[in-house]
Amino acid sequence: MNSKEETALSILSRYIRILTQENFKVSEPIKNEYSYQVFISKRNEKISLLVFFGKKGNKIVIQGNKDLKIYREVNDLIFGERLIREDKLDVEPAYPYIGT
């Protein structure tokens, strides 16, 4: 196992700990050709989390239906942001506009 694979596995292990603390069921990591993958489930919903490793570094990808609650919850935990903002932002344009 090279250092890029070890780094990807350690990243995935950290996320597995976080997800299990939040009561998600997480499978054992599966090594693919260029990634590690786990399946995450909760309340009959299922998605997968992949950590790719390559010469450009590591990439974290969540695969699944973006409309599912589990997808949004895992996205919030991993990336720390909402996929879809539930509150609308009122943006006032700066005046004067060019061309007005």
CB-CB contact of 64 with 46 (8 Å): yes
- Going from the C-alpha of 19 to that of each of 26, 44, 54, 64, 85, the distances in angstroms are 7, 16, 25, 16, 22
Per-residue pLDDT of the chain (100 residues; tens, 9 = 90+): 678 899 999 999 999 999 999 999 999 999 999 999 999 999 999 999 999 998 888 999 999 999 999 999 999 999 885 444 555 556 666 666 666 5
Structural domains present in the chain: 3-79 (3.30.310)
Q: What are phi and psi of 37, to 5 degrees?
A: -135, 140
* pTM for the predicted model, two decimal places: 0.75
In the block, tokens 């070890």 appear at: 6
Cα separation of 30 and 86, whole Å? 35
Question: For position 84, what pLDDT does the model report?
Answer: 47
